[in-house]
Amino acid sequence: MLETHGIRQTKLADVLGVGRSNLYRWVNEVRDPTSETVVGIVKALEGINPDAAAEFRRLYMGDESQRED
């Protein structure tokens, strides 16, 4: 997903204030980020590329329009 939007892992790690190794683990599904980190990723992506943030929300959190109340 990051590559699709031209975002380097190093850039996102810097904006999040985390080590690139942590980001690598999340991207490659070695570990899952905490819920607080997911919120931080969305905010960071919004600052870098809003379309990437929207895609991340959809992929990671699901499509809100398909959820039942």
Q: What is the CATH number of the domain that holds 33?
A: 1.10.260
What is the model's pLDDT at position 62? Answer: 79
Tally the C-alpha atoms within 13 A of residue 21's C-alpha that lie toward its C-beta: 0
Any domain includes 31 = yes
**What pLDDT score does 63 carry?**
65
pLDDT digits (tens, 9 = 90+) for 6-65: 999 999 999 999 999 999 999 999 999 998 999 999 999 999 999 999 999 998 877 655
pLDDT of residue 41: 95
pLDDT confidence of residue 60: 84
- Domain housing 26: 3-61
Start-end of H helices in the chain: 9-16, 20-27, 35-48, 50-56
Has residue 68 been placed in a domain? no
Q: Domain for residue 66, yes or no?
A: no
Residue 66 has pLDDT above 60, yes or no: no
- For residue 55, being part of any structural domain is answered with yes
Per-residue pLDDT for 68 more than 80? no
